[in-house]
Amino acid sequence: MPSTTVVSVSFNTKKLTSLLLWSLHRILEPMDLSIVMVDNGSTDGTVDLLRRAEEAGLCHVLPNPVNLGHGPALNLAVGQVPVTADWVWVLDSDCVVTRPDALTAPITLHPDAAIIGEAQWDPWRARFRPELFSLLMSREAHSHEAVAPFTDDGDPAWDMLASPEIKGLRIESFPFTTNGYLVHLGRASLAAVIEIDDRSNPLYDWATAHHEPHFGAVEGARVRHASIVQQFEREVGPHLDLAGFLRM
């Protein structure tokens, strides 16, 4: 398989971030994989968890002292991707891999694509477009000078997705959540804002009414998520000792 670097951003999602890391090492079939985790100023112990994971060789962590926003943090992570990496896999921290072929299946189906993501209807732009929660970018896309970086706004992937279309690079859709390759909880960072009552966060007003998980409106996703969480809790334990379990 081609080499792949996973990049993800966490913000006060300690257990969910741990769940994502566990699933990448436990569920995903073995391959040439590296993981870059950016923490956006978490105060819930996420940084300590990620540092322990880094010491165990499970990931590389980039801790930010403050919340830079999702887009700038992703740009920071992508900047750490080896130039030899064939693919960059952007994953939200509230995703969990549920099938071993969650990475091999889309790459095998679309080996010549520049970007692979799950196309969903965007009511604001009145069109289908790949969503950011699970987005594969080929070396051509993430190193192409004409492909825009992620932006610091509510839709950090839009400029990046629009630029390959202009340049004629192929964007393909793959049913990551619809076919159960992974589960996306949704709105986890917004839930964290409400949990700590962070009224200084620019998304606070939006989060008050939009912090409940939506599971992508995928039938059966809530049940699959509960099942995988049970397995995770049995294997890792309440202290989220990823290094201890994954060394076994």
Say which CATH number the domain at 37 has. Answer: 3.90.550.10
* pTM, two decimal places: 0.90
Does the pLDDT of residue 48 top 70, yes or no? yes
Please compute the mean of the pLDDT values over residues 31-48 and round it to a whole number.
Answer: 94
Does the pLDDT of residue 210 top 70, yes or no? no
pLDDT score at 82: 87
3-class state of residue 17 by DSSP: helix
Q: For residue 25, give its domain range.
A: 4-246
pLDDT band at 206; cut points 50, 70, 90: low
CB 185 within 8 A of CB 213: yes
Does the pLDDT of residue 77 top 60, yes or no? yes
Mean pLDDT of the chain: 88
The number of distinct structural domains making up the chain is 1
What are the beta bridge partners of residue 128?
121
pLDDT band at 196; cut points 50, 70, 90: low
The Cα 175–Cα 162 span in angstroms is 20
pLDDT band at 209; cut points 50, 70, 90: low
The Cα 79–Cα 86 span in angstroms is 14
pLDDT score at 121: 87
